[in-house]
């Protein structure tokens, strides 16, 4: 497919560029999305680190489920990666913790630092916050990537351009990244993402309540079945709602939901019913008063991305197939 070929070419170029940047740095601050810290990382980066200091920032922590984020921080720490959580664009606490960590180097050594991550994950926001007012004080440092600008932050150099890492799009990864807005609609459209969100989060009582506030009442959304879709090379994922155990009105995990539940059945049909209600409640009607499913899906996805439905994570470390995955 021509489009797929172009995308592959684009990703290969991005990776080549990051490799060049890596030759010039001693430390990488990798940015991933706190709502899916496994899938929003580049699978290639770990292999390229080669002894460089590797710090991980989980951006958009303000939009993720806090308990799930704490579980991810513990999991990454157990894998030898230091995670820092950003609680909003320009989080001052995150920035000062990172600056302190990067400054902790031998006196004679001034590390050169690259911020890297998937497209739209929050790299520039972090770069700007780290550089702060010193952004104006940039200069080309001799002996490193020609033409690259560096910000002198006293105890370390910051490359003034972020490294863009290519995503892994296999299996449901494409939909996870689409839900987070890290890949464009040409790779994951709103209706597909909405169906995915309803399937993955439908078992979480807080998500159902949020939809209830939108006037969406049924049918019964699927409850999670632990281990059903493990994260890893095959990439699936249990709904995080299931990780916290069944809530009020939610069937015990492993049992099919009562009352016309849709777990394992036709997720798209379920999404259609939910999106019709969203469309009617929001007055998103097409010719002849028909509910406009496409616009309803776009509204639902946008609300999820902006955190208007609440703080939800799409992945939990319990979904990992085994120790060592994804480090
Ligand atoms: N809620 C929230 N939004 C964030 C956070 N960090 C970044 N954003 C928002 O995410 C969006 C994308 O951020 P950018 O910094 O432009 O992302 P990027 O990775 O540089 O994007 P590209 O240049 O497209 O690769 C912006 O609207 C930011 O305001 C965060 O911690 N919380």
Spatial CA neighbour of 320 closest among 253, 246, 235: 235
Task: Point out the ligand 1 atom lying closest to the alpha carbon of residue 162.
Answer: 20
Return the pLDDT at 229: 59
155 shares a domain with 261: no
Q: How far apart are CA 277 and CA 97, in angstroms?
A: 45
Distance 253 CA to ligand 1 centre (A): 35
Distance 86 CA to ligand 1 centre (A): 11
Which of 129, 164, 199 is a domain's end point? 164
Q: Are 17 and 44 in contact (CB under 8 A)?
A: no
311 shares a domain with 210: yes
- The response to whether residue 129 sits with its C-beta less than 6 Å from ligand 1 reads no
Domain hosting 16: range is: 2-164
Return the pLDDT at 246: 32
| CATH code, 41 | 3.40.50.300
Alpha-carbon dihedral sign for residues 169, 171, 173, 175: positive
Report the number of secondary-structure helices (H) and strands (E) in the chain. Answer: 11, 8
Q: Which residues pair with 31 in a beta bridge?
A: 57, 117
Parallel, antiparallel or unpaired: strands 150-152 and 138-139: antiparallel
163 annotated ligand binder? yes
ipTM given for this complex: 0.98
- DSSP H helical ranges for the chain: 2-23, 45-48, 66-78, 92-103, 123-131, 173-180, 190-201, 205-213, 240-243, 267-282, 293-306
Spatial CA neighbour of 200 closest among 236, 254, 159: 236
Burial 162-186 (b: 16+ CB within 10 A, else e): bbbbbbbbebbbbbbbbbbbbbeee
pLDDT along the chain (327 residues), means of 10: 70 88 93 97 86 94 98 94 93 94 80 94 93 59 57 90 90 94 94 94 89 81 50 50 33 34 57 93 93 97 97 95 50
Q: Are 31 and 1 in contact (CB under 8 A)?
A: no
113 shares a domain with 25: yes
Residue 189 located in a structural domain: yes
Distance 58 CA to ligand 1 centre (A): 11
120 annotated ligand binder? yes
57 shares a domain with 152: yes
CA 107 to chain centre: 36
- DSSP code for 189: -
Residue 324 located in a structural domain: no
Distance 125 CA to ligand 1 centre (A): 6
128 shares a domain with 180: no
Residue 51 located in a structural domain: yes
Number of compact structural domains in the chain: 2
Spatial CA neighbour of 54 closest among 163, 174, 182, 167: 163
**Using CA positions, which residue lies closest to atom 13 of ligand 1?**
122
Q: How far apart are CA 270 and CA 290, in angstroms?
A: 18
The residues, ordered by sequence, that sit 6+ positions from 286 with a Cβ below 8 Å of its Cβ are 292
**Residue whose token pair is 């010193």:** 134
164 annotated ligand binder? no
DSSP for 73-112? Answer: HHHHHHTT-EEEE--STT-HHHHHHHHHHHH-S-TT---E
Burial 255-267 (b: 16+ CB within 10 A, else e): eebeeebbbeeeb
The residues, ordered by sequence, that sit 6+ positions from 159 with a Cβ below 8 Å of its Cβ are 21, 24, 25, 112, 113, 114, 115, 145, 148, 149, 150, 151
CB neighbourhood size of 287 (10 A): 6
135 shares a domain with 270: no
* Token digits of residue 55: 């710090």
138 shares a domain with 259: no
Q: Are 126 and 32 in contact (CB under 8 A)?
A: no
- The response to whether residue 128 sits with its C-beta less than 6 Å from ligand 1 reads no
183 shares a domain with 74: no
CA 220 to chain centre: 27
Which of 121, 140, 164 is a domain's end point? 164
Alpha-carbon dihedral sign for residues 197, 198, 203, 205: positive
131 shares a domain with 75: yes
56 shares a domain with 180: no
Which of 139, 164, 189 is a domain's end point? 164
68 annotated ligand binder? no
Residue 325 located in a structural domain: no
């Amino acid at each position: 497919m021509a489009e797929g070929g172009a995308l592959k070419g684009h990703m290969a170029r991005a990776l080549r560029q990051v490799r060049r940047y890596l030759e010039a740095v001693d430390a990488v601050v990798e940015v991933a999305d706190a709502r899916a810290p496994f899938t929003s990382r580049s699978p290639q980066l770990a292999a390229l680190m080669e002894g460089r200091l590797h710090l991980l920032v989980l951006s958009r922590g303000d939009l993720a489920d806090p308990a799930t984020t704490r579980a991810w921080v513990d999991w990454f720490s157990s894998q030898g990666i230091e995670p820092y959580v950003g609680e909003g664009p320009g989080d001052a606490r995150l920035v000062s913790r990172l600056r302190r960590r990067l400054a902790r180097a031998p006196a004679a050594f001034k590390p050169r630092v690259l911020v890297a991550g998937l497209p739209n994950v929050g790299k520039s926001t972090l770069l700007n916050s780290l550089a702060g007012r010193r952004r104006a004080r940039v200069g080309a440092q001799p002996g490193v990537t020609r033409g690259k600008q560096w910000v002198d932050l006293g105890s370390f150099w910051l490359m003034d351009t972020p490294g863009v890492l290519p995503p892994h799009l296999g299996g449901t990864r494409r939909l996870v990244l689409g839900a987070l807005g890290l890949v464009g609609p040409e790779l994951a459209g709103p209706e597909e993402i909405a169906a995915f969100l309803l399937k993955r989060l439908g078992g979480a009582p807080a998500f159902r309540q949020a939809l209830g506030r939108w006037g969406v009442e049924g049918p019964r959304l699927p409850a999670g079945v632990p281990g059903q879709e493990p994260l890893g090379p095959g990439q699936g994922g249990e709904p995080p709602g299931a990780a916290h155990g069944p809530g009020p009105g939610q069937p015990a995990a492993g049992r099919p939901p009562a009352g016309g539940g849709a777990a394992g059945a036709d997720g798209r049909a379920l999404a259609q019913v939910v999106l019709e209600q969203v469309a009617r409640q929001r007055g998103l009607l097409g010719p002849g008063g028909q509910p406009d499913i496409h616009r309803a899906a776009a509204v639902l996805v946008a609300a999820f991305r902006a955190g208007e439905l609440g703080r939800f994570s799409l992945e939990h470390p319990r979904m990992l197939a085994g120790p060592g995955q994804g480090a």
